[in-house]
């Protein structure tokens, strides 16, 4: 008999079959993913989870019989005698339809991993054209390991490599080990015979001389880690979240904005290795804050959108050089702005912000209950509309309800069709 | 008293070895079992799920449907709707048993006794398995199948391979030979036989026979039909075999894929027919072995109670009106029948002597059981060995549900003198694959016309095919056949045509 421990075998034996299944069911699963994501919290959405798809197209048909006269033998008779007639709806009719057979119309439920879920969720989205162009062009120098060299800076000495080589050399040249000498010396101490002593002494001397001739570490052993510079595309992005926090913004509106920001964040993290977030909130003056304060900190005052834009511009100038960073900005507001501020907003936006940003989205949030097309154009909306008509690459949407966030997001990043292309 | 096999719940590999060796002594010595060599593999829950999705086999070719099953099992396992099996055992030589790492030492003992000896003996000795499966070759064959499918995918594209496999899977239930085939003709034997026949004819020659009128001469058309049917081997109920041999436009690799699916279907064919017996045997064997171990003092009372608890769960049979009822539990019925046979052999009543004159009181229960395990399948097993005593104990009754009967369902027989034989007949019929699977045959091909493939479903007791599924399967069949396919459902009793399906193949690639 053999006992074999299979527990250490590589797992994921079914992974390929699973991928085949997902590929085959892609359209269905994608639909299901979108549907599930609508009534879930954003945090949960991206955790993956259970989806259910209709079995249509995924079934494995078999030739099977149904109906007709049935005979069955059952256990547990209590009171029946031969010839009894049992009413059909009552007990004893047996629930004969075997589970898993008759339910071909039913939905098929299974669990997607986080990775699979996000992949499917964002599968048909892409960065806007403008961003892609820049993304492809912009390159920076990066360092990459490229083996070992015989020369280099001391900081780059590869100790393990050096020691290994030294050891090999010492063995090859038969350098006497200290232990060997120590043994001979001990023998010398105890030895009384003069002739033997002289012999030992000579031997020790010879060994010591040899050890001196063959150094422990020779300069030829030393190896340095070598690096090469390689061009690397910029793999970092910064995402600016701008939000109006004046008194007119309700909790509901902030919630909508937050959902949008999180989606954008997830989307960006899938495209860039490193994504920074900058939160800027503003009333009539703007400040950079942390996430907690951004969403939950109390604030009140008037509304000056230009202050936030100015703030963003300053931060970009001081910390995020556009040549190194892909800059994304999303602004959420209920649309209120001081009329006198329009000029400033237009100026900062068109001359300072839009030229360096890959993408600028404006999200106008409103109270739930009414439909977004019923929202009257606000001051800010009309201003941006005007800028857009003038050729500024702005994306803007109105959102009223939680369930609209996903469609709007999808809409914004959909593989480009027509209208926005003209603008960007 | 000998020493304990283990203490507590922990085990390691030397414990497993000890358990196996002890069980082996009992199984061979006391029960007289004859098994393949054992190979015991310890696996994790995830690997168990993997095994589930590839029908329990350690390796299998890749197909999306296995991924679907995996996703499904995984979802229900995660939600806690489904526990995993303690073991999976494979009919191969050496016999591979998978043990879950989570099992306690008691459970490992139970599982080794159950799978590595009970199932193993059954696989090696039952006539169906001997006839239909090749335990030595199956793993190599699966290895070949997996490699071949990969090769086909590289050469002909994944989509094409997937289509073929989908179609073959749909027809899998009708891709088995139900009767052992004709033996290959041995030419030398044939010559001898012809010579003998001639000698006989010469010896028995009588000119009178020449004058006896023969039947009406067959017309050319009838002869043609007969010739065609002989050439195509009709009627044929193994649809996959028929396609593999005669489908006009299949590529050689498609035929090979169909052959692979057919061989695998054939390999699993005995398992479907011996669920009750197989589980009954294994349960009976583990029950005997565990009891012996306890008696010999090699299991503590605590461990034995743990065993009894899970044993009782396994052989629990809910009654028909219990919400948990979903048909007969093969473990329960099988185990009950095995024990009942033991009782009949060792302490028969007068009734048993009347019903089972051959075995009642013969004394050697194991000899009788080994014979039963070797020579029966569920259907014949039930119809031979279900005793009135057991029918009374299980309180069996027979319901007859005729949709035409307005009043309701009739209780046709109960566990009484008048009903025993009828109940036994009906129950054995529930396990008769020839009865459960729809009887579908290829009856003809219109070779002179549009090459339509004609199938016939002989409808028994009014049970017709599920329409949606039938259409889908026939569509797959038509795609492989590449010409029209028709299926007529004919009532067995009246020969009346109940329904007719005709399907055209979906467009085929121009290359074919």
B64, closest residue in chain A (CA to CA): A21
Tell me what the pLDDT averaged over chain A comes to.
77
ipTM higher than threshold 0.90: no
Residue B218 pLDDT > 90: no
C-alpha to C-alpha distance for A246 and A132, rounded to whole angstroms: 35
Instruction: Tell me if B64 and A20 make a contact (CB, 8 A cut-off).
Output: yes
Instruction: Tell me if B327 and A59 make a contact (CB, 8 A cut-off).
Output: no
Residue A405: half-sphere exposure toward Cβ, Cα within 13 Å? 26
**Which of B21, B170, B401 is closest, CB to CB, to A61?**
B170
User: A229: which residues sit within 8 A by CB, 6+ positions away?
Assistant: A141, A142, A143, A144
Instruction: Give percent above pLDDT 70 in chain B.
Output: 97
Instruction: Give percent above pLDDT 90 in chain B.
Output: 45
H or E stretch including A121? Answer: helix A114-122
Q: Name the token pair of A255.
A: 């919630």
Q: Which residues from chain B sit within 8 angstroms of residue A57, using beta carbons?
A: none
Q: What is the mean pLDDT of residues B299-327?
A: 90
Give bridge partners of residue B111 from the DSSP assignment: none
C-alpha to C-alpha distance for B423 and B412, rounded to whole angstroms: 9
Q: Which residues from chain B sit within 8 angstroms of residue A32, using beta carbons?
A: none
pTM attached to this predicted model: 0.71
Q: Quote the DSSP letter at residue A352.
A: I
Cis before residue A56, ω within 30 degrees of 0?
no
Q: Which residues from chain A sit within 8 angstroms of residue B170, using beta carbons?
A: 60-62
C-alpha to C-alpha distance for B361 and B346, rounded to whole angstroms: 5
Report the DSSP pairing between strands B409-414 and A326-333.
unpaired
Instruction: Supply the pLDDT for residue B283.
Output: 94
Instruction: Supply the pLDDT for residue A36.
Output: 67
Longest dimension (CA), chain B: 89
Q: What is the mean pLDDT of residues A399-406?
A: 76
Q: What are the tens digits of pLDDT across the range A164-202?
A: 999 999 999 988 888 888 988 888 888 888 888 888 889
Q: Which residues from chain A sit within 8 angstroms of residue B473, using beta carbons?
A: 61-63
Q: What are the tens digits of pLDDT across the range B145-180?
A: 999 999 999 999 988 999 899 999 999 988 888 877
Judged by a CB distance cut-off of 8 A, whether residue A100 touches chain B is no
Q: Are B135 and B123 in contact (CB under 8 A)?
A: yes
Q: What are the tens digits of pLDDT across the range A127-171?
A: 654 454 455 445 566 788 888 998 888 888 999 999 999 999 999
Q: Quote the DSSP letter at residue B439.
A: E
Q: Are A34 and A406 in contact (CB under 8 A)?
A: yes
């Amino acid at each position: 008999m053999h006992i074999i421990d299979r527990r250490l075998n590589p797992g994921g034996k079914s992974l390929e079959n699973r991928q085949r299944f997902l590929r085959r069911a892609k359209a269905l699963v994608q639909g299901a993913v979108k549907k599930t994501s609508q009534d879930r919290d954003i945090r949960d959405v991206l955790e993956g989870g259970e989806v259910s798809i209709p079995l249509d197209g995924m079934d494995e048909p078999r030739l099977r019989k149904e109906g007709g006269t049935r005979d069955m033998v059952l256990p547990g008779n209590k009171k029946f005698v031969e010839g009894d007639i049992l009413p059909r709806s009552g007990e004893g009719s047996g629930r004969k339809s075997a589970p898993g057979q008759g339910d071909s119309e039913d939905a098929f439920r299974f669990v997607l991993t986080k990775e699979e879920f996000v992949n499917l969720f964002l599968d048909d989205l892409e960065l806007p054209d403008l961003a892609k162009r820049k993304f492809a062009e912009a390159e920076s120098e990066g360092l990459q390991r490229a083996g070992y060299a015989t020369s280099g800076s001391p900081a780059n000495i590869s100790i393990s490599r050096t020691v290994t080589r030294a050891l090999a050399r010492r063995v090859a040249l038969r350098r006497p080990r200290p232990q060997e000498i120590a043994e001979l010396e001990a023998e010398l101490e105890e030895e009384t015979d003069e002739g033997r002593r002289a012999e030992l002494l000579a031997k020790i001397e010879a060994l010591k001389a040899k050890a001196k001739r063959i150094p422990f570490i020779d300069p030829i052993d030393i190896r340095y880690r070598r690096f090469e510079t390689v061009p690397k595309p910029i793999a970092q992005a910064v995402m600016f979240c701008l939000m109006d926090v004046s008194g007119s913004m309700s909790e509901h509106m902030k919630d909508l904005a937050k959902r949008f920001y999180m989606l954008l964040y997830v989307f960006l993290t899938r495209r860039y290795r490193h994504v920074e977030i900058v939160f800027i909130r503003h009333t009539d003056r703007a400040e950079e804050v942390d996430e907690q304060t951004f969403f939950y900190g109390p604030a009140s005052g008037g509304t000056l959108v230009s202050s936030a834009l100015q703030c963003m511009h300053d931060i970009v100038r001081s910390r995020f050089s556009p040549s190194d960073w892909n800059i994304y900005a999303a602004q959420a507001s209920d649309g209120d702005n001081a009329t006198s501020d329009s000029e400033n907003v237009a100026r900062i936006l068109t001359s300072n912000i839009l030229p360096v940003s890959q993408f600028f989205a404006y999200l106008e949030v409103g109270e739930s209950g009414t439909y977004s097309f019923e929202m009257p154009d606000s001051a800010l909306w009309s201003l941006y509309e005007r800028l857009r008509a003038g050729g500024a690459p702005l994306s803007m949407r109105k959102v009223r309800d939680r369930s609209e966030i996903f469609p709007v997001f999808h809409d914004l990043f959909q593989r480009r069709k027509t209208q926005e292309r003209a603008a960007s | 008293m000998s020493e304990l096999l283990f203490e507590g719940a922990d085990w390691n590999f030397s414990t497993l070895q000890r358990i196996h060796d002890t069980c082996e002594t009992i199984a061979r010595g006391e029960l007289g079992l004859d098994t393949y060599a054992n190979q015991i593999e310890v696996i994790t829950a995830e690997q168990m799920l993997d095994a589930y999705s590839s029908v329990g086999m350690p390796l299998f070719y890749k197909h999306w449907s296995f991924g679907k099953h995996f996703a499904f099992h995984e979802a229900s396992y995660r939600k806690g709707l489904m526990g995993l099996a303690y073991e999976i055992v494979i009919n191969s030589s050496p016999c591979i048993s998978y043990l879950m790492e989570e099992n306690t030492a008691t459970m490992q003992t139970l599982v080794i006794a159950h799978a590595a000896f009970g199932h193993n003996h059954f696989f090696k000795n039952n006539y169906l398995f001997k006839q239909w499966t090749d335990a030595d070759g199956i793993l190599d064959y699966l290895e070949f199948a997996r490699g071949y499918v990969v090769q086909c995918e590289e050469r002909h594209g994944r989509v094409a391979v997937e289509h073929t496999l989908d179609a073959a899977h749909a027809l899998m239930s009708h891709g088995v030979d139900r009767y052992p085939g004709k033996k290959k003709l041995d030419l030398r034997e044939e010559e001898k036989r012809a010579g003998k026949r001639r000698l006989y004819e010469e010896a028995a020659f009588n000119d009178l026979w020449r004058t006896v009128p023969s039947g009406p001469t067959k017309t050319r058309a009838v002869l043609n039909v007969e010739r065609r049917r002989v050439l195509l081997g009709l009627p044929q109920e193994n649809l996959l075999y028929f396609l593999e041999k005669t489908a006009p436009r299949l590529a050689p690799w498609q035929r090979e894929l169909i052959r692979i699916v057919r061989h695998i279907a054939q390999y699993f064919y005995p398992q479907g027919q011996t669920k009750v017996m197989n589980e009954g045997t294994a349960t009976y064997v583990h029950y005997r072995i565990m009891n012996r171990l306890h008696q010999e003092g090699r299991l503590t009372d605590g461990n034995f109670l743990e065993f009894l608890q899970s044993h009782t769960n396994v052989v629990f049979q809910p009654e028909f009106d219990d919400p948990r009822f979903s048909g007969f539990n093969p473990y329960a019925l099988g185990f009950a029948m095995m024990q009942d046979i033991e009782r009949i052999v060792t302490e028969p009543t007068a009734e048993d002597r009347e019903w089972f004159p051959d075995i009642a009181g013969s004394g050697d229960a194991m000899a009788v059981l080994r014979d039963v395990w070797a020579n029966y399948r569920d259907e014949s097993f039930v119809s031979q060995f279900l005793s009135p005593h057991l029918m009374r104990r299980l309180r069996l009754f027979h319901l007859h549900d005729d949709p035409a009967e307005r009043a309701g369902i009739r209780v046709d027989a109960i566990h009484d003198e008048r009903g025993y034989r009828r109940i036994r007949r009906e129950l054995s019929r529930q396990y008769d694959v020839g009865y459960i699977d729809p009887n579908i045959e290829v009856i003809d091909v219109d070779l002179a016309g549009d090459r339509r493939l004609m199938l016939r479903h002989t409808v028994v007791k009014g049970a017709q095919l599920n329409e949606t599924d039938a259409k889908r399967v026939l569509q797959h069949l038509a795609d492989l056949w590449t010409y029209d396919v028709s299926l007529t459902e004919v009532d067995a009793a009246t020969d009346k045509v109940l329904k007719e399906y005709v399907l055209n193949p979906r467009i085929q690639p121009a290359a074919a």
